[in-house]
Structures are given as structure tokens and as C-alpha cells.
Amino acid sequence: MDRETRSRIETALGTHIAEARPLGVGFGLKGYAATLADGRQVAVKAARNAARSHLPLEAYMLEELGRLSELPVPEVYYSDPALLVMSWIENDGGAITKSAERHAAELLAALHARPFPHFGYGRDTLIGPLVQPNPEGDDWIAFFRDHRLQYMARRAHEEGQLPAAMLTRLETLAQRLGDYLSPPPYPSLIHGDLWTGNVLVKGGRIAGLVDPAIYCAHPEIELAFTTMFSTFGRAFFDAYEALAPLEPGFHECRKDIYNLYPYLVHVRLFGAGYLGGIDATLRRLGL
């Protein structure tokens, strides 16, 4: 840990750092796991460029999940544009077992069971380092069309990552979403970025869920994302659907439509390697 980061943490928390080691984080951030002189263990993200940092917004999302749900998320000790210090979540670094999947299903079913008044959120949030616009509204299909699918596709095209022909195909689908999607009974708060790297496991249970991308949505968009990188599988869905049954057609069609959004996120962040997933879904829909 560099001297400046160490000094900022010690000043912010009013205690010395006894030990620190590097921690893998992405998107232009430095990460550390540290033990403080008062015994606390913390996880630290430090911005390489504070002027372009979104760390206070990440802190806000963690605090909202902690306030509004029972999900095991880190406690925020301190945040500013250069620094985010959180409680350390003890985990064994192991694979997501079937028992952990079943525990995840219980946690997410409980999260999704609480009604919220509107889709979107009171402010824009992030997925990774990318802005998620969250104007509040009552029409789920319009929200997903305008502020997820079309928004992310148009940004990807403007940045030169999405070919014009594929944008046209996505725009065509956007106008037909009502043929495939239906609104949920009510908006639900979602974690928003549930892939394996954001799921911490200990002893066959979910120890923590980190790096959220919150907003209020149809729970199906959250569930779909868990399939994109095989984060959760049959054990999860059997347990989840025993608590909150899904309408027919989710596994066959709707999950792939919802996953167009994280595919577009990955196209913007990592490039053309993710275009194939978008193309495959559009082809299955005859587009």
C-alpha cells in the first residue's frame, strides 16, 4: 500500500494500519485487504484518478442495500472520491456449491418479495463503471426498453463498439418487447450485478454479495444475469421457484432477452468478444 493511501485511511478511520496486502479489483482501482490496529479487518478501494471516480456512488448503493434488505453486504466505514473503506467479509474463496445456491435463492426471494413504488430509483446508479439511468416510472417494459436495452446499445454504438446493423436489430426488438415480456406484480429492489466474482461463500452459505448495481426492476432481469456466466444453476432455480414461482417462458426465452443488457455492458467494457451472444439471441428471435 502506498504511503498516501495509508495516510488517508488512517486519518479517515482514526487508527493505524497494522498490515495490508493487495486485493484484486477492477476498472482503474487499487484494492487492499487491511488489518487495523483496533482489530478491524477492512477492504479498501482506492481510485487512481479521483476526478473520474464513482466510489461515493458505490458506497451509496451498498448502504441502500444494507438499509433496505437482509442481504449480507459490506458495511461502509468511509467513502470519498478517492477512497472507499468497507468491512471485510470473511469467506473461504471456494466455489458456489449447491447448498450456497439454495441459500442465495432464499436471500434473493426475500429481497424480491418486498414491493417498491416505482421502477428505476431515486438517482442514477452504476453497473461496473458505467452509468445506469434510473428515472422513476410505472411501466416496466418501457423502462427496460428505454433505459436499459436502447440506452446501453446506443452508448455502445456511439463508442464504436456496436455495429450499426446490430443496433438496428436491437432497435427493432425494442419496439416488439411487449410480444415477449410482461410486467411483474410490483417493482422489486435488485442487487443488479450477480455474477460469480461478486458472490462470496463460506461453509456452503452465502457470506457476502458485493459490487451492487441497484435499481428497482422485474426480478427476472436479476435472475437472468445469474445464468449468463453460470453463477447459479438448477439448485438455485429449484429453490427460488419453490418460494416465488416464475411465469412460463422465462428459461426458454425471456432470460435471453434480459441478458442482452449485460451483454451490451460487456461489449462497452471489453469489446467485440461479447457481440456473439447478442447475435445469437437476436437470431433466435428471427431478427
Active site residues: 193
Per-residue burial over 12-41, b = 16 or more CB atoms within 10 Å of its CB, e = otherwise: ebeeebeebeeeebeeebeebebebeeeee
Backbone region of residue 201 per phi and psi (left: phi > 0; alpha: psi in -120 to 50; beta: other values): beta
Residue 108 near residue 242 (C-beta atoms within 8 A): no
Return the ∠ at Cα 64 (arms to 203 and 191), rounded to 5°: 55
Which residue in the block uniquely carries the three cell numbers 455495429?
Answer: 163
DSSP secondary structure string, 200-226?
EEETTEEEEE-S---EEE-HHHHHHHH
Grid cell locating 180 = 415477449
- Cite the DSSP H helix spans in the chain: 3-13, 55-68, 98-113, 140-144, 150-158, 164-174, 219-228, 234-243, 255-258, 260-270, 275-284
Return the ∠ at Cα 247 (arms to 109 and 167), rounded to 5°: 95
Residue 269 near residue 152 (C-beta atoms within 8 A): no
